[in-house]
Amino acid sequence: MTVHFDNYNPEQFYDELYESVGQPRPHAASLINWMQNLSLERLQQHLDTAQIALFNLGVTFRVYHDNQGVDRIFPFDIIPRIIDAQEWLKLETGLRQRIKSLNLFLADIYDQQLIIKDGKIPQEIINSAQGFLKPCLGIKPPESIWCHITGTDLVRDHQGQWYVLEDNLRVPSGISYVLENRRVMKSTFPDIFKTMAVKPVDDYPSHLLETLLNLAPSYLPNPTVVVLSPGIYNSAYFEHSFLALQMGVELVEGRDLVVCDGYLQMKTTKGLQRVDVVYRRVDDDFLDPQVFRSDSLLGVPGLMDVYAQGKVALANAPGTGIADDKVIYAYVPEMIRYYLGEEPILANVPTYLCWQEKERDYVLENLDKLVVKAANEAGGYGMLVGIKSTQEQREDFANRIKSNPRNYIAQPTLNLSRVPTLINGQIEGRHVDLRPYILHRGDEIYVHPGGLTRVALTKGSLVVNSSQGGGSKDTWVLKL
């Protein structure tokens, strides 16, 4: 039986590949026509082979709170998502605008705090943010760049309108899956890549290395860059080792580094070697036990001291985690107006702030219709999807909101866009989001083409996180 999309029904959702039943979107027609020459059995075989290849490549992740303690394969779907060139151009422009304003915000709140003094963001919201680190006040990162690597989560609704769902500026992960998904797709379907003008993604490691080298003082002829990982038990350890290998730099843990003679040094078989740039994949709180959590075994004692003196660069800068706070997220449109004097190109999802009494009352009265999120949780944890919730769960969240309203926001439930997905030998629509990756280096803000498309593999589910049963798809951005 050949792959028949004729009966594929986008239903009431915005479908990334189909306008309506039997009508592919123009930019997806070539893929659909080509894929319909395959049999469903052959497509399933390709998917099975791709899954095995990804597992053998070590493309796995770990789930916290999982007592099994084993690596899991990140589920992958063989049908890609496609974004046409003009649409991507608008996303690129909007992402550059957002990252530029977020960087100005970080530089401001750790220095003069003009945005607070001008009444655009309440002082108490900043001070109560878990990610606001007072030891970072007054620090001057190289070229005033705080967020060097960002992963911004985007979604779109049933009308195809794009929204920013979250900002991830601390230690955004997932780019390794983007690169490996593309490698597997190109080896599985080389013919279609010859006929469709898809932007390449495999040069990300060179862009990342260039971004990191840009942080080192210009007088250093051969600066040393390392990737700092919490170690093999971290959920994203595969990515840490993958990126270090691809960039040709050392992968280290905190125990491999020491502050000596006023510099950060790496222990080697030939003695200590000065480190100039650290791509840290360790959360802020664990970076330096002398400044943050004293029980941390993942960081390096004295690291913040040499960082503050400008003797080593950290990417991302400590303190960027405040921008991951979902309450702070609600103020990004105002940041864009304040710092850039522009209207936001990419909209936020409408957001209710539970610290405000009127909005909190509305949230409590409409828990069955809203998505409630904790300000500092990630991975789909600390979240209530009202339309899928039980009365007991809503009562639990009502109590959580009342006891700590600063820690919660709520948003309307969006009917996320869908993409045809191979499920048990059949083509069915599944909801997706998109995480593009943005590199900020000096005067340039680079947006890598596409990003990680996460897909909720369970029918009807809106939760795309890998820790909650989500998978991924290759994302094709077409050339102009």
Alpha-carbon gap, residue 22 to 343, rounded angstroms = 38
* 305 and 384 part of one domain: no
Residue 135 lies in a domain: no
Q: In this predicted model, what pLDDT tens digit does every residue of 381-402 receive, in sequence order?
A: 778 999 889 999 999 999 999 9
242 & 310 share domain: yes
Average pLDDT over residues 55-72: 63
The predicted structure's pLDDT at residue 433: 96
Are 311 and 359 found together in one domain? Answer: no
In the predicted model, is pLDDT for residue 344 greater than 60?
yes
Listed residues 289, 315, 341: the one ending a domain: 315
| pLDDT confidence tier of residue 134, bands split at 50, 70 and 90 | very high
Q: Does residue 289 share a domain with residue 232?
A: yes
- Read off the pLDDT of each residue in 412-428 and give the average, rounded to a whole number: 93
Residue 266 forms part of a structural domain: yes
**Which tops the pLDDT comparison, 46 or 125?**
125
Position 455 scores a pLDDT of 95
In order, the DSSP letters of 13-53 are: S-BSSEEETTEE-GGGHHHHHHHTTSBHHHHHHHHHHHHHH
CA angle 8, 24, 89 (to 5 degrees): 130
Q: Where residue 299 sits, what CATH number does that domain have?
A: 3.40.50.11290
- Reported for 47-50, long-range contacts at CB under 8 A and 24+ positions apart, including other chains, are 47/76, 47/77, 47/78, 47/422, 49/188, 50/76, 50/78, 50/184, 50/185, 50/188
Low-confidence winner among 60-69, 150-159, 363-372 (lowest mean pLDDT)? 60-69
Whether residues 275 and 355 share a domain: the answer is no
The confidence band for 75, taking pLDDT boundaries of 50, 70 and 90, is confident
| 338: DSSP letter | I
Q: Same domain, yes or no, for 310 and 238?
A: yes
- Collapse the DSSP code of 255 into the 3-class scheme (helix H, G, I; strand E, B; otherwise coil) and give the result: helix
Please indicate, yes or no, if residue 400 is contained in any of the structural domains: yes
Q: Binning pLDDT at 50, 70 and 90, where does residue 74 land? A: confident
Same domain, 361 and 306: no
Only one residue has tokens 């890549």, namely: 193
Tally the C-alpha atoms within 13 A of residue 69's C-alpha that lie toward its C-beta.
Answer: 3
Domain at 379, CATH number: 3.30.1490.270
The amino acid sitting at 156 is R
Q: How confident is the model at residue 2 (pLDDT cuts 50, 70, 90)?
A: low
What is the value of pTM for the model shown?
A: 0.93
What is residue 217's predicted lDDT score, i.e. its pLDDT?
A: 85
pLDDT tens profile 245-255: 999 999 999 99
Least confident interval from 278-282, 445-449, 456-460: 456-460
Q: Containing domain of residue 253, as a range?
A: 215-315
Is 361 in the same domain as 297? no
Evaluate whether residue 443 is within a structural domain: no
280 Cβ neighbours under 8 A, 6+ residues apart: 171, 228, 287, 314, 315, 316
Report d(CA 266, CA 256) in Å as an integer.
6
Task: From residue 340, give the alpha-carbon distance in Å to each of 89, 99, 249, 332, 333.
Answer: 20, 11, 36, 11, 10
Same domain, 228 and 281: yes
Position 225 in a domain: yes
> 358 and 307, same structural domain?
no
Beta strand spans in 144-252 (E): 149-156, 162-168, 225-228, 250-252
- In a shared domain, residues 231 and 292: yes
Provide the CA 47 distance to its chain's centre, in angstroms: 25
* Residue 234 reports pLDDT greater than 90: no
Where does a domain end: 382, 412, 442? 412
Q: Please count the CA atoms within 13 angstroms of the CA of 32 that sit on its side-chain side.
A: 23
Q: What is the mean pLDDT of the chain?
A: 92
Q: Is residue 262 part of a domain?
A: yes
Indicate the residue type of 103: N
Q: Which residue has the higher pLDDT, 302 or 297?
A: 302
Q: What is the full DSSP assignment across 434-470?
A: EE-EEEEETTEEEE-SS-EEEEE-STT-----GGGTE
Residue 167 to residues 47, 95, 247, 321, Cα–Cα distance (Å): 31, 10, 25, 10
Task: Domain count for the chain, please give it.
Answer: 2
**Does residue 377 form part of some domain?**
yes
404's tokens = 């700590």
With a CB cutoff of 8 Å and minimum separation 6, the contacts of 467 are 61, 63, 64, 235, 379, 380, 381
Domain boundary among 373, 392, 412: 412
Residue 239 within a domain? yes
Say how far apart CA 388 and CA 147 lie, in whole Å: 35
